[in-house]
Chain A
Amino acid sequence: MAKREDIRTILVIGSGPIVIGQACEFDSSGAPAYKVLREEGYRVVLVNSNPATIMTDPGLADRTYIEPITAEFVEKVIREERPEALLPTLGGQTALNVAVELAESGVLDCYGVEMIGCSLEAIQRGENRKLFNECMAELGIQTARSGYAYSVEEARAIVDEIGLPVVLRPSFTLGGAGGGIASNYDELDLIVSQGLELSPIGEVLVEESIEGWKEFEMEVVRDRAGNGIIVCSIENLDPMGVHTGDSITVAPAQTLSDVEYQRMRTASLAVLEKVGVQTGGSNVQFAVNPSDGRMVIIEMNPRVSRSSALASKATGFPIAKVAARLAVGYTLPEIVNDITGTTSACFEPSIDYCVVKAPRFAFEKFKDSDDTLSTRMKAVGEVMACGRTFEEALGKALRSLENGRAGLGVDGHMRASETKEGYAPLLARPTRNRIVYIGCALRRGWTPSEIHDLTGIDRFFLDRMADVVAVQEALRGARIDDMDAEAFRIAKRYGLSDVQIAFLTNSTEIIVRTRRKALGVVPVFNAVDTCAAEFESSTAYFYKTYEAPVLANGDSLSAADAAEEPRQKPKALILGAGPNRIGQGIEFDYCCVHASYALHDAGWETIMVNCNPETVSTDYDTSDKLYFEPLTYEDVMDIVDVEQPDGVVTTLGGQTPLKLARALEEAGVPFMGTGADAIDLAEDRDRFAALLDSLGIAYPPAGDAHTLDEAERVASRIGFPLLVRPSYVLGGRGMAIVYDAKQLRRYMGEAAKISPDHPVYLDKFLESAVEVDLDCICDGEDVYIGGVLEHIEEAGIHSGDSACCIPPFSLSDTLVNQLRDIAWRLALSIGVRGLLNIQFAVKDQTVYVIEANPRASRTVPFVSKATGVPLAKVAARVMAGEQLADMGLPPDTRELGYCAVKEAVMPFGRFPGSDVVLGPEMKSTGEVMGIAPTFPAAYAKTQLAISYELPRSGDVFISVADRDKRSIAALARDFARLGFEVVSTGGTAKTLSASGVACKKVKKISEGHPNVVDMIADGEIKLMINTPFGHGPRGDGYVLRLAAVRHGVTYATTIAAAQAFAAAMEVARDKGLGVVALQDLPQWT
């Protein structure tokens, strides 16, 4: 069989913005898949609303539509492009859901579009629990006993039959959203009622609890000839009950004997055949009873998934690329294994290392939300680590998480401070820290068996961890001089980092490193080659480990795969961004990838270091070499020692590599682009303030403080309100606005915990100022202004959470020129060689510089897509020594002729109990983009892309803080004109009536029933405008906003957003929204 010639154009759907449960793994799957499809000669049309992805680069697909992934917009694209085929399996649940909607509504038939990769029937059999369970029954494969409920009463009836506890899974929701475990009828009623609302078809599966069983996952690939292979098996460290996305997982499966493994393998293949997955990748999840081997199937996904991205990185087998080829007609034996370049892709990878994935959480961002891990995924990112033992891989994974830890304990954090008994509750409840508590408990004398009884974690993993702790404790208190090579190798075999060794021996990381190297204990770099070294591989994808030396006739034999060859080209080492977390997402990965492309094209050998399996940067063919390693000093320096790079890029991966810059520079590592001193000049408040003073640039009055006394002195000097934050943070972590001395005292009490070594910064907060971002590139002589972004929300909302527009929609040319002028002067005087991001606040026509970051900013991908100039690539070439003047860039003063809006996507639905108000601390996980001729139309697209409905009529509830009362009348009048009925409580109603706006008054929560929350619950309120006052009191506003999130009511928490909303609704209603391909806008290449 060969590829299909009857297809010319293929429509592929991306996965949209990054949300919990659906991160950039689909960029990592999609981008290479599209490359493959184009190589095969197909015309690829892409729809994806996420501008931060590589896949939405205009060069990747033939036609790139950054449009909402809704049936309405995808149909518009189909009408425009007339594809013969739709490939829905590479864009996660989002793409699959839209494809199903288009197929069921007849749109695909109407335009003659064939779904390839997976049929509608197969998707339904895979996703609809009832059909799926029927299929499994026909195969004789067990599923957990269960029933479907469409009401709370039905759920209770099912529970009467199968007993408590039960697992509840709303149908067709992302990452298990809305699911949970109920141990009593109260919990049952609560979760079922929430789940029914979240499920698009109002259906909740009520299932026998198999909590505590072992959980496994098989990654399967199948072709249309019926050949099927298992790419990877994965075992969860946490037993059933914790979502697999929230669990530490291990590949390959560790505790299955051959007969158990082969039974699971066979069942997985049979499941794909039965469900009817024609081609491509799927994952199948199983639970195994640890006491008798009983195996039940949990679910399968008939598409590329988060775990297939992980499996690809874990084994080197490129599932998405292969799936794309299979979808257009090839069979597995017709495809060559990319990694070996010689053997068949129709085989099952064998790996000779252990892979550990660890989830990254962000509970600290969502105060008051429950941090118990459950069947509802809450992780915002993940890391992967490879080692030759589970212990080694676990240690590497834990130190990759960017949470200040250096491994499993003994790093100065989380000492074993409880009594032995004190650990019982910490072990019993699954949380993000449980893995560390296990280490503490072992130190306090718990046995693996006792811990197993409380956690249900398999003894295998606990025994391994017990060994790790035992080695640590044996080392504790020793002198570093007593460590010989053997002791170092043992420490490394059990996953200890140099930092941990330093902690245990009361030494420093540098001393440990020096001694280790002096003893000749240096790592080897092994290739991830899909075949356990059985065949030679040409792909440069490495991980690090430590091996006993091999002697060839007495001489040491160099066994490492990453052996040094004569240097042909200069080498650039690019440090990636680490795990996705709030404040540091895919945007930085985008920049690293672009730099790699640009430097490769400019004749450099590019070397990527990163530990995030969800990204394009960790695709083995993005850079010339890939090191899948933690971004710590130790791990990066080990790579530097082997590669001896000519330049290291630290300014594109966000805060992670930036934090290393100083130490790397002290170690004599050559930098590319902006140097550590320039970074320091911009980040050090005193130096930066002195610079601004010397340039005559205004900035908000500020001060810093190590103690409350100092803070109060600063406050009395510059006055309230104050923006307070700890130094050296990203994403506004720990940032707050304080309005009086009492709040300041409370903040200072908490801030001490955040970062004990660094002071707290206090800035005058410019209330109701307009915030502006500016991204530019400086080569030392010229400055190129990439874009000026006007924020929609006013100053005080973190820039990452604020919507923004290119070009500025309300700023005068004079003002924009003033911003440009400041950018030129700042960039040149800081000494930037590469990207610079400046944040301004404009108040009363005065421009204040809030901060300047001489590195890639979160907005670089958005600006690049909006303007057609790939800033990260240009910046990389500047770092490599090119001059801006020689690049032929379009004038940065040109008029774009259209508007591009970026809007943030919030994860509040995942964190019940957490307030949804925007503030100076960033909370969004992702972003969407809208492009249209006008600002309101572009803004409307962003709202639709987040699946906020733009209601057309009904009640709009308005309740605003006092400071907003003056501006509310005009807005309310707009809504009335658009045909909405305005509803208000007390004060706001009075203001509106006084201004002559007709307004229905409802009761506040405190005034009894029926009140406004009842109206929200009843679905009467279609839109809610509620602005909180500064510091978010736990009053009515909080309850209202929670109700809005829970019931899916569209809401705005700032006046600016509400105004944009009104304009958007008007344009969407009157003119309709067209679609536009990036290729039709000017692009610089």
Chain B
Amino acid sequence: MSLLASKMLAATSKPPAKEALLVLEDGTCFHGNACGALGEVFGEVCFNTSVEGYLEIVTDPSYAGQIVVMTYPQIGNYGVCLEDAQADHPALRGLVVRDMCYTPSNWRSERTLPDYLKREGIFAIEGVDTRALVQHVRDYGAMRAVLSSEDLNAESLANKARASEPIVGVNLARTVSCPEPHAFGQSDLASSKAFALAPPALARYRVIAYDCGIKRSILEGLVRAGCEITLVPWNTPASQVLEMAPDGVFLSNGPGDPDAVEGTYRQVEKLLGKVPVFGICLGHQMICKAAGGQIEKLKFGHHGGNQPVMNLLTGRVEITAQNHGFNLVVPSLGPLASEMEGISPAHPADLLFWAEQGIAPVVSNPRYGGVRLTHVNLNDGTAEGIAFTDIPAFSVQYHPEANPGPTDSHYLFTAFTRLMDGREDYLDIDIAKDRLEGWQFE
């Protein structure tokens, strides 16, 4: 960098430039400047299309093992409110942005994002052509990458990226689960959100939550719906859970390859049918695995806050927050139930078929009976939610707790309480009526 360029940059709110590189395993190299902690980190590159909610993304434990690219170019604008964090500490490997804000503005802000990242030891890089990077990942699929401020040789970094541990086959959930069971209740709710969120409902349900890297806002969503929660580690034996005689069991979100989280889904096999179960994201995949389902890796996954999902029971579309790289293969749960014969003799190639027909098809699962496909993604026709017809259990691949993202699917927390109440129509909720539940404007 020339003297003049340094002088120009030095005049701005940005700190002196510290050069850093992002290199993909295929050798593609992006230059930028470090804007968090320094060092050298490895991870799988994925991108998130949410325009706001960067802190929630940075602290989402599901990003363990990943380097996250934000598609919105200017990040950090409204600073950091610590209670927006989804975990005590970030689990992602690194953050890639086009432009980092060092002088944020918002009444809730306690510190700047780069300051937060530095304190948490998270590597971040700015100045990258993130759109080109996103297009590359979109076209060639998710891949391993390295971020470094120490080694600035692209070739050497590409070799290191290729030698790094892949995300497939690795149990990342255990790295972000809690070590010991502990409680989460009304007194744990974030006070800094009280200006916007309604006070919680009366605590009526005792829920055990398997923590595979649970987001704080899921816990808050459950508590606000009237649950008192005991978190347990990812591999807690089912017998131990059932001994506590909870009203329901919740299976949390979490990072990485679901096939590697056998310690959880083997326990779920023993829970299904014995207690009402609700799962989100990895929790949904755990339920699918328990039912013998197969999970596939998506090319570049769904990470953002604008994914349209149709509830096949109501025909209504929810705009959803999503964060997953793996997805259920529906036919692997079993053949279509006999009552579906008149509509489709076999599984259609594209699940959008069901959205067009306005039908929520039922699959005959050899282990647990009927499984209904309840939600489908309208962009690519992937499965987004299932509900068992013979046992009290349902799950969604996306994130009704949002944080960040739209809260259209908030009704699923209410649905869980209705499931625990034993109601058959637990999913039959008008999202328009549910819309303002949980918010307040005074």
Does A460 sit at the interface, judged by CB under 8 A? yes
A140 touches B406 (CB 8 A): no
Per-residue interface assignment for chain B, residues 5 to 22, with 1 indicating a CB less than 8 Å from any chain A CB and 0 otherwise: 101111111100000000
User: In the complex, A50→B106 CA distance in Å?
Assistant: 45
Q: Are B306 and A333 in contact (CB under 8 A)?
A: no
Are A258 and B73 CB-contacts (below 8 A) given A332-B317, A533-B135, A550-B129? no
Q: Mark B186-200, 1 if CB is under 8 A from A, else 0.
A: 000000010111000
Q: Check A467–B13 contact: CB distance below 8 A.
A: yes
Measured CB to CB, the nearest residue on chain B to A352 is: B71
When the two chains form their complex, are residues A346 and B317 in contact, meaning their CB atoms are under 8 A apart? yes
**Which residue on B lies nearest to A142, using beta carbons?**
B441
Judged by a CB distance under 8 angstroms, whether A518 is at the interface is no
Does B28 belong to the interface (CB within 8 Å)?
yes
Q: Interface digits, B203-219 against A, CB 8 Å rule (1 contact, 0 not)? A: 00000000000000000
Chain A to chain B: the 6 pairs with minimum beta-carbon distance, closest first: A559-B132, A258-B53, A470-B11, A532-B71, A460-B105, A547-B129
Query: Does chain B have a CB within 8 A of A716?
Result: no
**B residues less than 8 Å from A535 (CB atoms):** 138, 379
At the interface, yes or no: B166 with Cβ under 8 Å from chain A?
Answer: no
CB < 8 Å neighbour of B378 from A230, A253, A346: A346
Question: Is B297 part of the contact surface with A, judged by Cβ < 8 Å?
Answer: no
Alpha-carbon gap, A540 to B436, bound state (A): 39
| Further contacts, 8 of them, CB under 8 A, given A259-B197, A474-B7 | A141-B441, A230-B319, A258-B56, A347-B379, A460-B103, A531-B306, A534-B71, A559-B135
What 1/0 flags go to A138-153 for Cβ under 8 Å of B?
0111100000000000
A263 close to B196 (CB less than 8 A): yes
Contact B73 A388 (CB under 8 A): yes
Cβ contact within 8 Å between A559 and B378 = no
Contacts A263-B196, A532-B49; A551 near B71 (Cβ below 8 A) = no
Q: Is B185 on the interface with A (CB-CB < 8 A)?
A: no
B108 touches A344 (CB 8 A): no
- Tell me the chain A residues, 237-265 only, with Cβ under 8 Å from chain B: 252-263, 265
Are the CB atoms of B32 and A548 closer together than 8 Å? yes
B258 within 8 A of A: no
B127, B197, B435, B442: which has the most chain A beta carbons within 10 Å? Answer: B435
**A270 in the interface, Cβ–Cβ < 8 Å?**
yes
Q: Is the CB of A534 within 8 A of B138?
A: yes
Which residues of the partner chain B approach A107 to less than 8 Å between Cβ atoms? none
CB distance from A147 to the nearest CB of B (A): 20
9-residue interface stretch from B275-283, B307-315, B417-425: B307-315
Residue contact A266 to B439, C-beta cutoff 8 Å: yes
In the complex, which of the residues B8, B27, B127, B135 contacts A548, with contact meaning CB atoms closer than 8 Å? B127
- B49 contacts A344, CB within 8 Å? no
Are B13 and A350 closer than 8 Å at their CB atoms? no
Contacts of B56 in A (CB 8 A): 258
Bound CA span A220–B94, Å: 35
B36-66 near A? 1/0 per residue, CB < 8 Å? 0000000000010111110010000000000
Whether the pair B129, A255 counts as a contact (CB closer than 8 A) is no
B78 touches A389 (CB 8 A): no
B138-179 vs A, CB cutoff 8 Å, 1 = contact: the mask equals 100000000000000011001000000000000000000000
Contacts of B3 in A (CB 8 A): 482
- Given the known inter-chain contacts A352-B73, A487-B4, A531-B49, please indicate yes or no for A548 contacting B378, CB distance below 8 A: no
B382 interface contact, C-beta 8 A? no
- Which residues from 371 to 388 on chain B have a C-beta closer than 8 Å to any C-beta of chain A? 378-380
A140 engages B10 (CB within 8 Å)? no
Q: How many residues of B contact A (CB 8 A)?
A: 89
User: Is A351 a contact partner of B51 (Cβ separation < 8 A)?
Assistant: yes
Contact of B317 with A333 in the complex, beta carbons under 8 Å:
yes
Residue in A closest to B13 when the chains form the complex, CB atoms = A467
Q: Is B404's CB within 8 Å of the partner chain A?
A: yes
Q: Considering the complex, give the chain B residue whose CB is closest to the CB of A296.
A: B441
| Inter-chain contacts of A950 with B (CB < 8 A) | none
Q: B137: shortest Cβ distance to chain A, in Å?
A: 9
Alpha-carbon distance A352/B5, docked complex (angstroms) = 26
- A270 with B316: CB separation less than 8 A: no
Tell me whether A694 is interfacial, beta carbon within 8 Å. Answer: no
Interface membership of chain B positions 230-274, coded 1 if the CB is closer than 8 angstroms to chain A and 0 otherwise: 000000000000000000000000000000000000000000000
A139 to B437, CA, bound (A): 11
A548 to B48, CA, bound (A): 21
- Interface residue? B338 (CB, 8 A): no
Q: A227-B316, A548-B30, A550-B28 are in contact. Are A463 and B13 (CB under 8 A)?
A: yes
B432 on interface, CB distance cutoff 8 Å: yes
Chain B residues, CB < 8 A from A552: 26-29
Q: Contacts A346-B308, A548-B129, A559-B129 hold; do A260 and B29 have CB atoms under 8 A apart?
A: no
- Does A800 touch B at the CB level, under 8 Å? no
Q: Give the chain A neighbours of B315 by CB distance below 8 A.
A: 225
Q: In the complex the two chains form, is B73's CB within 8 Å of A350's CB?
A: no
The yes or no answer to B344 lying at the interface (CB within 8 A) is no
Partner of B131, one of A344, A347, A533: A533
B2 touches A (CB below 8 Å):
yes
Q: Give B contacts to A, CB under 8 Å.
A: 1-5, 7-14, 26-32, 47, 49-53, 56, 71-74, 77-78, 81, 84, 98-99, 101, 103-108, 127-135, 138, 154-155, 158, 193, 195-197, 304-308, 310, 315-317, 319, 355, 378-380, 402-407, 431-432, 435-436, 439-442
Q: How far is the CB of A442 from chain B (nearest CB, A)?
A: 11
Q: How far is the CA of A267 from the CA of B3 in the complex (A)?
A: 51
- List 27 contacting pairs A-B, 8 Å CB cutoff, sorted by A: A252-B52, A255-B78, A258-B53, A258-B403, A266-B439, A291-B107, A292-B195, A333-B308, A344-B308, A344-B378, A347-B308, A350-B71, A350-B306, A351-B72, A354-B73, A389-B74, A466-B13, A478-B4, A486-B5, A526-B131, A534-B71, A547-B132, A548-B32, A548-B128, A550-B129, A553-B28, A553-B158
Residues of B within 8 A of A295 (CB): 441
Q: A765 → chain B, closest Cβ, in Å?
A: 54
> CA separation between A37 and B285, bound complex, in Å?
44
Interface membership of chain A positions 455-483, coded 1 if the CB is closer than 8 angstroms to chain B and 0 otherwise: 00011100100110011011100100011
Chain B contacts for A346, CB-based, 8 A: 308, 317, 319, 378
- Is the beta-carbon distance between B106 and A257 smaller than 8 angstroms? yes
Do A256 and B52 touch across chains, with their CB atoms under 8 A apart? yes
**Cβ contacts under 8 Å, A350 to chain B:** 49-51, 71-72, 304-306
**A348: CB under 8 A from chain B?**
yes
Expressed in whole angstroms, the minimum distance between the Cβ of A350 and any Cβ of chain B is: 4
**Across-interface contacts of A390 in B (CB, < 8 A):** 74
Interface presence of A869 (CB below 8 A): no
Give every chain B residue within 8 A of A352 (Cβ-Cβ).
49, 71-73, 130-131, 134
State whether the Cβ of A126 lies closer than 8 Å to any Cβ in chain B. Answer: no
CA distance A559 to B435 in the complex (A): 41
Contact across chains for B11 and A258 when beta carbons are under 8 A apart: no
Identify B8's interface contact among A471, A554, A559, CB under 8 A: A471
- Whether the pair B436, A258 counts as a contact (CB closer than 8 A) is no
Known contacts A140-B441, A257-B52: does B71 contact A548 (CB below 8 Å)? no
With an 8 A cutoff between CB atoms, is A541 at the interface?
A: no
A273:B432 contact, CB within 8 angstroms: yes
Complex Cα distance, B434 from A270, in Å, reads 10
A470 neighbours in B (Cβ, 8 Å): 11-12
Q: Is A353 an interface residue (CB 8 A)?
A: yes
User: How far does the Cβ of B439 sit from chain A's closest Cβ, in whole Å?
Assistant: 6
CB A390 to nearest CB in B, in angstroms, measures: 6
B2 near A344: Cβ-Cβ < 8 Å:
no
Contacting residues, chain B, for A524 (C-beta < 8 A): 129
A540→B106 CA distance, assembly (Å)? 37
